[in-house]
Amino acid sequence: MPGRRWAIPMLLALSLPLLAPVSASPATAAAVPPLEEINATTTQVAFGLRRPTAIAAPDDGTDRLLITEKRGTVRVYHPDTGLAQSPIIDITASVDESGNERGLLGIAVAPDFARSQDVYLAYTALPDGAVTLGRYRLDEARLEPLLSQEHAEYSNHNGGQITFGTDGNLYMSIGDGGAAGDPFDTGQRLDTLLGKILRVDVRRTCGALAYCIPADNPFVGVAGARGEVWMYGGRNPWRFSVDRADGSLWIGDVGQGRWEEINHVKPGRQAGANLGWSCYEGLEVFDQTQCGSGATYTKPVFTYSPHTGGCAVIGGQVYRGQQFADLVGGTYIAADYCYMTVWALRENGSGGYAAAELGQMPTQVTAFGATPEGELYVVNDLPGGLHRVSFEHAEPTCRIAYTTRAWGTGMTVDLTITNTGTAPISGWTLRFPLARGQSVVSDWNTDLTQSGDMVSAVNAAHNGSVAPGQSVTMGYLVSHTGDASPPSRFTLNRDTCAVTR
């Protein structure tokens, strides 16, 4: 939860106002249905993109989307005329696209774009792959490098998200330097921009810098620290976004292999926040030697393991549009690069978050983008397309009811699975996560396997057919290390189930 931090000592505790909040539209304030009653769909609207990596939408009345391609080009999409064949920006001569994760990585249009025609780009630069922030003056077709971080040793973990906050400053993510396991211990270091989210003022220059460091950045004046650092402890925060309604940051940080994580950090808790890497991966200690005696870590609000089939979280955006405000207004939507899951997170009003899978995205989604009106699009890597995201109300086709009995270090869970759809089920697989520290000991009425935190329960020979309105039962016994929480979400044959507690 954004308001709670791990009680491990802290290097520097600063809580400064960040992004001036704006009011949510009245349409998003209305009650929305439970997440399990929502289905996300996508419609492909453009083909032929070459490994697209990011989307930006100028608020200039043109309805254009600007889409970056890994090789160093930016293409224009318009809903009336489609995808332009010739790029509007071409910086291929400056971009190192070697390796899978290098290239043109991020794009942001200046808040005054309609007047200035300034576009900001994040890319790995030739000749050495340094992660670079540049300003591209569209009316002059001229690229100006502004900020650079060496990143020569490994080609992965470049980060590359850039966006403007409501304070007018530019925010940028850079990964930890690559390879695996944070080999340079950069996550917890403040003398490097690796493994960080930066905050800089690109509207001005200060001395030898082509930008200014805001005076209220948390590490300004701290000996040995880079003043550009806003938050640290990131592994590869490939995509993050600013919620324009309250100025909070939603950060998708790609994990080492055990946990993918999403952080939600609200204003007042962002400046100097430590996201944990490489002391923590998700909620678990990864490298005890990186756990400082004076550090406090910001806890992720949602984690999932690659045992779901995923491999890399793709941080998305909070939906603030009008078309689907009655369904997902104020809901954060994210994805995974390998698994086509649509993740949805929503604050539950009591300090926690509801989470659910809302259907499927195209394969290999790399980035989300939003129009100035708040409607969502995604791009996918291969074969390279642009997709409009839609939402619909859909009654769940399954319902789960459960009872638990916990004691000491054990717990039994009995589940009733009801087919609430209109078609019979012939063969089923129920998937759900276990709480940390829980291990399955035995099961009944199912063929159950555990992989990491994920359970896949397949029907037994005698209960594989479930007619509409009918139910089957199953159960399992787990050992636990203190957390006897029941599962929080279920999917039956990849459909999200309603849960009766």
Q: Any idea where the domains of the chain sit in the sequence?
A: 5-49+152-393, 398-500
pLDDT of residue 27: 41
Do residues 86 and 400 touch, judged by C-beta distance below 8 A?
Answer: no
* 178-215 CB burial, b ≥16 within 10 A, e <16: beeebebbbbbbbebbbbbbbbbbbeeeeeeebbbbbe
Q: How many CB atoms lie within 10 A of CB 421?
A: 16
Kindly give the parts of the chain with pLDDT less than 70.
Answer: 1-30
pLDDT of residue 30: 58
Do residues 166 and 257 touch, judged by C-beta distance below 8 A?
Answer: no
pLDDT of residue 19: 37
- Number of helices and strands in the chain (H, E): 3, 41
Q: Using CA atoms, how far apart are residues 398 and 239, in angstroms rounded to an integer?
A: 33
Q: Using CA atoms, how far apart are residues 434 and 338, in angstroms rounded to an integer?
A: 22
The answer to pTM > 0.95 is no
User: Which tokens go with 274?
Assistant: 């430590």
pLDDT of residue 475: 98
* Element holding 27 (H helix, E strand): helix 26-29
pLDDT of residue 8: 34
| CATH T-level assignment (fold) for domain 5-49+152-393 | Neuraminidase (2.120.10)
DSSP string, 420-433: -SSS-EES-EEEEE
Q: Using CA atoms, how far apart are residues 317 and 203, in angstroms rounded to an integer?
A: 25
The listed CATH number (2.30.30.230, 3.90.1150.10, 2.60.40.290, 2.20.25.240) that belongs to domain 398-500: 2.60.40.290
pLDDT of residue 21: 39
Token pair 């839609």: residue? 390
pLDDT of residue 9: 32
CA angle 3, 165, 122 (to 5 degrees): 115
CA angle 79, 81, 82 (to 5 degrees): 65
Do residues 146 and 159 touch, judged by C-beta distance below 8 A?
Answer: no
Backbone torsions φ then ψ of 447, nearest 5 degrees:
-105, 100
pLDDT of residue 15: 32
Token pair 């489609």: residue? 82
